[in-house]
Structure 1
Protein backbone atom coordinates (compact mmCIF):
# COMPACT_ATOMS: atom_id res chain seq x y z
CA UNK A 1 0.00 0.00 0.00
CA UNK A 2 1.37 3.38 -1.04
CA UNK A 3 1.13 6.10 1.61
CA UNK A 4 -0.41 9.39 0.48
CA UNK A 5 1.51 12.65 0.71
CA UNK A 6 0.57 15.36 3.19
CA UNK A 7 -0.82 17.47 0.34
CA UNK A 8 -3.05 14.63 -0.85
CA UNK A 9 -4.26 13.99 2.70
CA UNK A 10 -5.04 17.68 3.21
CA UNK A 11 -7.06 17.85 0.00
CA UNK A 12 -9.00 14.72 0.93
CA UNK A 13 -9.68 15.95 4.49
CA UNK A 14 -11.05 19.25 3.17
CA UNK A 15 -13.82 17.30 1.44
CA UNK A 16 -14.91 15.49 4.62
CA UNK A 17 -17.76 16.63 6.87
CA UNK A 18 -17.32 17.61 10.51
CA UNK A 19 -18.68 14.28 11.77
CA UNK A 20 -16.46 12.29 9.39
CA UNK A 21 -13.39 14.19 10.65
CA UNK A 22 -14.28 13.36 14.26
CA UNK A 23 -14.67 9.70 13.34
CA UNK A 24 -11.33 9.66 11.50
CA UNK A 25 -9.51 11.30 14.45
CA UNK A 26 -10.97 8.86 16.94
CA UNK A 27 -10.12 5.91 14.74
CA UNK A 28 -6.59 7.20 14.30
CA UNK A 29 -6.17 7.58 18.07
CA UNK A 30 -6.99 3.89 18.58
CA UNK A 31 -3.99 2.62 16.63
CA UNK A 32 -0.96 4.07 18.34
CA UNK A 33 -0.32 5.49 21.76
CA UNK A 34 1.65 8.37 20.18
CA UNK A 35 -1.36 9.35 18.06
CA UNK A 36 -3.49 9.49 21.20
CA UNK A 37 -0.83 11.48 23.05
CA UNK A 38 -0.54 13.99 20.20
CA UNK A 39 -4.30 14.38 20.02
CA UNK A 40 -4.39 14.88 23.80
CA UNK A 41 -1.76 17.60 23.52
CA UNK A 42 -3.56 19.35 20.66
CA UNK A 43 -6.94 19.27 22.38
CA UNK A 44 -6.03 19.92 26.01
CA UNK A 45 -2.46 21.15 26.47
CA UNK A 46 -1.66 23.33 23.46
CA UNK A 47 -3.64 26.25 24.91
CA UNK A 48 -1.63 26.28 28.14
CA UNK A 49 1.99 25.65 27.17
CA UNK A 50 3.31 26.62 30.62
CA UNK A 51 1.23 23.94 32.30
CA UNK A 52 2.36 21.41 29.66
CA UNK A 53 6.01 22.23 30.38
CA UNK A 54 5.50 21.92 34.14
CA UNK A 55 3.77 18.56 33.74
CA UNK A 56 6.65 17.22 31.66
CA UNK A 57 9.22 18.61 34.11
CA UNK A 58 7.48 16.82 36.95
CA UNK A 59 7.50 13.54 35.01
CA UNK A 60 11.18 13.97 34.10
CA UNK A 61 12.04 14.73 37.72
CA UNK A 62 10.28 11.55 38.83
CA UNK A 63 12.10 9.55 36.15
CA UNK A 64 15.47 10.93 37.26
CA UNK A 65 14.73 10.08 40.89
CA UNK A 66 13.98 6.50 39.82
CA UNK A 67 17.29 6.04 37.96
CA UNK A 68 19.23 2.96 39.05
CA UNK A 69 22.59 4.40 40.10
CA UNK A 70 24.36 1.13 40.86
CA UNK A 71 26.40 1.39 37.66
CA UNK A 72 27.02 3.87 34.89
CA UNK A 73 25.54 1.39 32.42
CA UNK A 74 22.11 1.61 34.08
CA UNK A 75 22.40 5.38 34.46
CA UNK A 76 23.20 5.71 30.75
CA UNK A 77 20.23 3.53 29.76
CA UNK A 78 17.86 5.52 31.97
CA UNK A 79 19.17 8.90 30.81
CA UNK A 80 18.74 7.92 27.15
CA UNK A 81 15.20 6.73 27.87
CA UNK A 82 14.35 10.03 29.57
CA UNK A 83 15.85 11.99 26.69
CA UNK A 84 13.78 9.99 24.18
CA UNK A 85 10.68 10.80 26.20
CA UNK A 86 11.49 14.52 26.28
CA UNK A 87 12.16 14.59 22.54
CA UNK A 88 8.80 12.92 21.93
CA UNK A 89 7.04 15.59 23.97
CA UNK A 90 8.98 18.29 22.15
CA UNK A 91 7.73 16.91 18.83
CA UNK A 92 4.14 17.36 20.00
CA UNK A 93 4.74 21.00 20.82
CA UNK A 94 6.34 22.76 17.88
CA UNK A 95 7.18 25.71 20.16
CA UNK A 96 10.95 26.38 20.23
CA UNK A 97 10.78 27.92 23.71
CA UNK A 98 9.30 24.70 25.05
CA UNK A 99 12.09 22.73 23.42
CA UNK A 100 14.84 24.88 24.94
CA UNK A 101 13.15 24.93 28.34
CA UNK A 102 12.80 21.14 28.49
CA UNK A 103 16.31 20.40 27.25
CA UNK A 104 17.79 22.84 29.77
CA UNK A 105 15.80 21.15 32.51
CA UNK A 106 17.08 17.76 31.32
CA UNK A 107 20.68 18.98 31.52
CA UNK A 108 20.11 20.43 35.00
CA UNK A 109 18.74 17.10 36.16
CA UNK A 110 21.77 15.33 34.70
CA UNK A 111 24.12 17.50 36.76
CA UNK A 112 22.23 16.51 39.91
CA UNK A 113 22.79 12.79 39.33
CA UNK A 114 24.91 10.94 41.83
CA UNK A 115 27.48 9.51 41.07
CA UNK A 116 28.82 12.42 39.05
CA UNK A 117 28.39 12.27 35.25
CA UNK A 118 31.95 13.61 34.77
CA UNK A 119 33.27 10.15 35.53
CA UNK A 120 31.44 8.62 32.58
CA UNK A 121 32.52 9.55 29.06
CA UNK A 122 29.16 8.47 27.59
CA UNK A 123 27.09 10.56 30.03
CA UNK A 124 29.36 13.56 29.55
CA UNK A 125 28.97 13.23 25.78
CA UNK A 126 25.17 13.06 26.06
CA UNK A 127 25.23 16.16 28.25
CA UNK A 128 27.56 18.10 25.94
CA UNK A 129 25.62 17.07 22.84
CA UNK A 130 22.41 18.43 24.36
CA UNK A 131 24.11 21.68 25.35
CA UNK A 132 25.30 22.14 21.76
CA UNK A 133 21.79 21.42 20.54
CA UNK A 134 20.33 23.96 22.98
CA UNK A 135 22.82 26.58 21.85
CA UNK A 136 21.70 26.16 18.23
CA UNK A 137 18.02 26.34 19.16
CA UNK A 138 18.46 29.46 21.29
CA UNK A 139 19.57 31.41 18.22
CA UNK A 140 16.10 30.88 16.71
CA UNK A 141 14.32 32.58 19.63
CA UNK A 142 13.47 36.23 20.35
CA UNK A 143 16.40 38.39 21.54
CA UNK A 144 15.10 38.76 25.12
CA UNK A 145 14.61 35.03 25.45
CA UNK A 146 18.01 34.42 23.88
CA UNK A 147 19.65 36.49 26.60
CA UNK A 148 17.83 34.67 29.42
CA UNK A 149 18.46 31.22 28.02
CA UNK A 150 22.10 32.02 27.21
CA UNK A 151 22.66 32.91 30.88
CA UNK A 152 21.27 29.52 31.90
CA UNK A 153 23.31 27.81 29.21
CA UNK A 154 26.54 29.47 30.37
CA UNK A 155 25.81 28.26 33.89
CA UNK A 156 25.31 24.73 32.58
CA UNK A 157 28.54 24.85 30.57
CA UNK A 158 30.55 25.68 33.68
CA UNK A 159 29.03 22.83 35.73
CA UNK A 160 30.65 19.98 33.84
CA UNK A 161 33.91 21.60 32.78
Structure 2
Protein backbone atom coordinates (compact mmCIF):
# COMPACT_ATOMS: atom_id res chain seq x y z
CA UNK A 1 0.00 0.00 0.00
CA UNK A 2 1.36 3.39 -1.00
CA UNK A 3 1.17 6.04 1.73
CA UNK A 4 -0.68 9.24 0.85
CA UNK A 5 1.01 12.62 1.11
CA UNK A 6 0.03 15.20 3.72
CA UNK A 7 -1.66 17.30 1.03
CA UNK A 8 -3.76 14.34 -0.10
CA UNK A 9 -4.73 13.54 3.49
CA UNK A 10 -5.67 17.16 4.17
CA UNK A 11 -7.83 17.30 1.05
CA UNK A 12 -9.62 14.06 1.97
CA UNK A 13 -10.19 15.14 5.59
CA UNK A 14 -11.99 18.28 4.38
CA UNK A 15 -14.75 16.08 2.96
CA UNK A 16 -15.29 14.15 6.20
CA UNK A 17 -17.78 15.07 8.94
CA UNK A 18 -16.68 16.01 12.45
CA UNK A 19 -17.85 12.67 13.79
CA UNK A 20 -15.85 10.75 11.17
CA UNK A 21 -12.73 12.77 11.95
CA UNK A 22 -13.21 12.06 15.66
CA UNK A 23 -13.45 8.33 14.96
CA UNK A 24 -10.34 8.45 12.74
CA UNK A 25 -8.35 10.21 15.48
CA UNK A 26 -9.40 7.71 18.12
CA UNK A 27 -8.54 4.80 15.85
CA UNK A 28 -5.17 6.36 15.06
CA UNK A 29 -4.47 6.82 18.78
CA UNK A 30 -5.03 3.11 19.41
CA UNK A 31 -2.15 1.97 17.22
CA UNK A 32 0.95 3.69 18.51
CA UNK A 33 1.99 5.07 21.85
CA UNK A 34 3.57 8.10 20.12
CA UNK A 35 0.24 8.95 18.44
CA UNK A 36 -1.43 8.86 21.85
CA UNK A 37 1.30 11.00 23.40
CA UNK A 38 1.06 13.57 20.60
CA UNK A 39 -2.72 13.72 20.89
CA UNK A 40 -2.38 14.15 24.67
CA UNK A 41 0.04 17.03 24.16
CA UNK A 42 -2.19 18.73 21.57
CA UNK A 43 -5.38 18.38 23.63
CA UNK A 44 -4.15 18.98 27.18
CA UNK A 45 -0.73 20.61 27.24
CA UNK A 46 -0.27 22.72 24.09
CA UNK A 47 -1.96 25.75 25.67
CA UNK A 48 0.40 25.66 28.69
CA UNK A 49 3.91 25.43 27.25
CA UNK A 50 5.62 26.39 30.54
CA UNK A 51 3.82 23.57 32.35
CA UNK A 52 4.79 21.16 29.59
CA UNK A 53 8.45 22.19 29.90
CA UNK A 54 8.36 21.64 33.67
CA UNK A 55 6.73 18.24 33.19
CA UNK A 56 9.44 17.16 30.69
CA UNK A 57 12.19 18.48 33.00
CA UNK A 58 10.83 16.54 35.98
CA UNK A 59 10.62 13.39 33.86
CA UNK A 60 14.22 13.96 32.74
CA UNK A 61 15.30 14.39 36.39
CA UNK A 62 13.67 11.09 37.24
CA UNK A 63 15.38 9.32 34.33
CA UNK A 64 18.78 10.75 35.31
CA UNK A 65 18.29 9.55 38.89
CA UNK A 66 17.62 6.00 37.66
CA UNK A 67 20.88 5.68 35.68
CA UNK A 68 23.02 2.69 36.66
CA UNK A 69 26.43 4.23 37.46
CA UNK A 70 28.32 0.94 37.76
CA UNK A 71 29.98 1.41 34.37
CA UNK A 72 30.15 3.96 31.59
CA UNK A 73 28.51 1.44 29.26
CA UNK A 74 25.25 1.67 31.22
CA UNK A 75 25.59 5.43 31.60
CA UNK A 76 26.01 5.91 27.82
CA UNK A 77 23.08 3.65 27.10
CA UNK A 78 20.83 5.51 29.56
CA UNK A 79 21.91 8.98 28.42
CA UNK A 80 21.17 8.09 24.79
CA UNK A 81 17.73 6.83 25.84
CA UNK A 82 17.03 10.04 27.76
CA UNK A 83 18.10 12.12 24.75
CA UNK A 84 15.92 10.05 22.41
CA UNK A 85 12.90 10.56 24.68
CA UNK A 86 13.68 14.27 24.99
CA UNK A 87 13.83 14.68 21.20
CA UNK A 88 10.43 12.99 20.94
CA UNK A 89 8.92 15.45 23.44
CA UNK A 90 10.54 18.35 21.56
CA UNK A 91 8.96 17.12 18.31
CA UNK A 92 5.54 17.17 19.95
CA UNK A 93 5.95 20.81 20.92
CA UNK A 94 7.46 22.09 17.68
CA UNK A 95 8.40 25.31 19.50
CA UNK A 96 12.03 26.38 18.92
CA UNK A 97 12.26 28.15 22.28
CA UNK A 98 11.06 25.02 24.09
CA UNK A 99 13.58 22.94 22.15
CA UNK A 100 16.51 25.13 23.16
CA UNK A 101 15.40 25.35 26.80
CA UNK A 102 15.02 21.58 27.14
CA UNK A 103 18.31 20.81 25.39
CA UNK A 104 20.14 23.29 27.63
CA UNK A 105 18.59 21.63 30.67
CA UNK A 106 19.70 18.21 29.37
CA UNK A 107 23.26 19.49 28.94
CA UNK A 108 23.22 21.00 32.45
CA UNK A 109 22.15 17.65 33.91
CA UNK A 110 24.78 15.83 31.88
CA UNK A 111 27.54 18.25 32.88
CA UNK A 112 26.70 17.90 36.60
CA UNK A 113 26.29 14.12 36.41
CA UNK A 114 28.42 11.97 38.71
CA UNK A 115 30.68 10.21 37.79
CA UNK A 116 31.91 13.00 35.55
CA UNK A 117 31.33 12.60 31.82
CA UNK A 118 34.76 14.17 31.28
CA UNK A 119 36.25 10.72 31.97
CA UNK A 120 34.51 9.23 28.93
CA UNK A 121 35.20 10.30 25.34
CA UNK A 122 31.85 9.12 23.95
CA UNK A 123 29.82 11.07 26.51
CA UNK A 124 31.96 14.17 26.00
CA UNK A 125 31.41 13.93 22.22
CA UNK A 126 27.66 13.57 22.75
CA UNK A 127 27.72 16.61 25.05
CA UNK A 128 29.72 18.68 22.54
CA UNK A 129 27.38 17.71 19.67
CA UNK A 130 24.40 18.86 21.69
CA UNK A 131 26.10 22.19 22.43
CA UNK A 132 26.74 22.72 18.70
CA UNK A 133 23.14 21.78 17.95
CA UNK A 134 21.89 24.25 20.57
CA UNK A 135 24.11 26.97 19.10
CA UNK A 136 22.53 26.47 15.66
CA UNK A 137 19.02 26.53 17.11
CA UNK A 138 19.70 29.71 19.10
CA UNK A 139 20.60 31.52 15.87
CA UNK A 140 17.00 31.08 14.64
CA UNK A 141 15.43 32.68 17.73
CA UNK A 142 14.52 36.32 18.51
CA UNK A 143 17.48 38.59 19.45
CA UNK A 144 16.52 38.86 23.14
CA UNK A 145 16.20 35.10 23.45
CA UNK A 146 19.47 34.65 21.54
CA UNK A 147 21.24 36.75 24.16
CA UNK A 148 19.65 34.97 27.15
CA UNK A 149 20.21 31.48 25.80
CA UNK A 150 23.68 32.49 24.59
CA UNK A 151 24.67 33.29 28.18
CA UNK A 152 23.42 29.89 29.34
CA UNK A 153 25.31 28.21 26.51
CA UNK A 154 28.55 29.96 27.51
CA UNK A 155 28.10 28.73 31.08
CA UNK A 156 27.81 25.18 29.74
CA UNK A 157 31.00 25.55 27.71
CA UNK A 158 33.00 26.83 30.70
Is TM (by shorter chain) over 0.5?
yes
The size of the alignment, in residue pairs, is 158
CA deviation vs aligned residue, 1:52-97 (integer Å, no higher than 9, x gap): 0000000000100111111111000000000000000001011000
Shift of 1:111: 1.1
The TM-score normalised by the length of structure 1 is 0.97
Match of 1:107 in 2: 107
Match of 1:33 in 2: 33
Matched, 1:119 2:122: no
The separation in 1 between residues aligned to 2:109 and 2:134, in whole angstroms, is: 15
Shift of 1:51: 0.2
**Structure 2 residues not aligned, in runs of 5+:** none
The separation in 2 between residues aligned to 1:2 and 1:63, in whole angstroms, is: 38
CA deviation vs aligned residue, 1:19-63 (integer Å, no higher than 9, x gap): 111000000000000000000000011000000000000000010
Match of 2:141 in 1: 141
Shift of 1:153: 0.1
Match of 2:82 in 1: 82
Could you say what secondary structure the match of 2:68 adopts? coil
Structure 1 segments, 4+ long, off by >3 Å, are none
The separation in 1 between residues aligned to 2:18 and 2:141, in whole angstroms, is: 36
Could you say what secondary structure the match of 2:24 adopts? helix
CA RMSD in angstroms comes to 0.4
The separation in 2 between residues aligned to 1:68 and 1:111, in whole angstroms, is: 17
